[in-house]
Amino acid sequence: MACALALFPLTGAAHPHGWVDVSVKVITDTQGRAEALQQRWRLDPFYSQLLMEELRAAQGDEPMAARLDQLGVEIRNTLAPKRYFTHVTRAGQPVELGDVDDFTTLARGGRVELMFRLPLANPLPLDETPVHYRIYDPTYYLEVVHEADGDTPRPDALTVEEDGCRTRIIAADPDPAKVAEAAMLDRGEQAEEGLGRFFAETGEIRCDHP
């Protein structure tokens, strides 16, 4: 599974060397509070091909589904210490996250997909107070963007189970100095920890609940 670990480095090169298309569904409880972010990550075709070739070449007679499951375990173990690259805030205050309780890996349409449910530590009220999240690789080795048609985020890139909620995806607006810094980094150079946050899109949820 060396390829999987190389795909999700915790430190290393930057600017970026791969991308992930994400979609997010906000799961709510019976009181209309947010309780989890259901995420789907689609790895870019190049990395997907590398992963699938490595899985096919691995020794043993396990079916591909089992090999994908094992790949998912490796990726989950790598992402967990970084909270799955996910940062949630409400009214500017950090929201504590729980532990992923459902993780699925599959290959579809020539791309490897990761699907998982990331719970919040405590249910979060949804009202006119905005809830924001950003998903980014802190080293910017991977660029994480919402599913889009061209430059326009798709309607299903961010959805909420609860009625009466409005969502939007705010494009990143990095300082030109950070853009230049990322562009100058080569594969063998060390990225600044946290560089990825300057290039992260922001998901926003507001609801009409009292």
Q: What are phi and psi of 201, to 5 degrees?
A: -70, 160
Mean pLDDT of 21-36: 96
Distance (Å, rounded) from C-alpha 71 to C-alpha 61? Answer: 15
Region of 197 please: left (phi>0), alpha (psi -120 to 50) or beta.
alpha
Q: If you search the block for the tokens 């409400």, which residue do you land on?
A: 90
Half-sphere exposure for 102 (CA within 13 Å, toward CB)? 10
What's the whole-model pTM score?
Answer: 0.88
Structure letter (DSSP) for residue 70: H
Does 14 score more than 80 pLDDT?
no
- The answer to whether 154 touches 148, Cβ cutoff 8 Å, is yes
Average pLDDT over the chain reads 88
Distance (Å, rounded) from C-alpha 11 to C-alpha 176? Answer: 23
The secondary structure element, H or E, covering residue 33 is: none
Distance (Å, rounded) from C-alpha 86 to C-alpha 107? Answer: 23
Distance (Å, rounded) from C-alpha 23 to C-alpha 158? Answer: 6
- pLDDT at position 183, please? 74
- pLDDT at position 29, please? 95
- pLDDT at position 191, please? 62
What percentage of the chain has pLDDT greater than the value 70?
88
Q: Do you know the residue count of the chain?
A: 210
More confident: 36 or 199: 36
Distance (Å, rounded) from C-alpha 26 to C-alpha 88? Answer: 12
- pLDDT at position 10, please? 46
- The answer to whether 146 touches 203, Cβ cutoff 8 Å, is yes
Distance (Å, rounded) from C-alpha 62 to C-alpha 171? Answer: 42
Q: If you search the block for the tokens 């599974």, which residue do you land on?
A: 1
Distance (Å, rounded) from C-alpha 36 to C-alpha 42? Answer: 19
